[in-house]
Amino acid sequence: MGTAQAVASGAMRIPPASAQLAAQLPDLLENLAIATERLNTTIDRTERYMAMADPMFRTLDRLLPQLESLINTGNEVFRMLTSLPGVSTLNRIAGRGQGSRE
């Protein structure tokens, strides 16, 4: 019977690294639970911020095409003005280059 116990205890021997990991496991699980709770809190806060910002995003979506159109109109006016005779001379006098705006 002594031999059977010796064989069983030899088979049940746990490597030191595994024993250390097993000893740390409760703390690791507690830290994981805390981190998960903090992550859930952060996700909830982010969802609330996005819900509050949603009307602003919708407004920007409506305004952007109008702003792009306004910029394109401004660029067309600028191109037309630069094609007028004498404007290139005024640009040189004012110190503005030909390719300063595109």
| Rounded-to-5 percentages of helix, strand, coil across the chain | 85, 0, 15
Q: What angle do CA 65, 68, 74 make, to 5 degrees?
A: 145
Judge whether 13 and 5 are in contact, CB under 8 Å. no
Domain boundaries, position 70: 15-94
Domain count, the chain: 1
Give pLDDT, residue 15. Answer: 81
Of residues 72 and 11, more confidence is placed in 72
Of residues 94 and 58, more confidence is placed in 58
Judge whether 98 and 91 are in contact, CB under 8 Å. yes
pTM of the complete model: 0.47
Give pLDDT, residue 67. Answer: 96
Instruction: Write out pLDDT tens, residues 28-50.
Output: 999 999 999 999 999 999 999 99
Give pLDDT, residue 28. Answer: 94
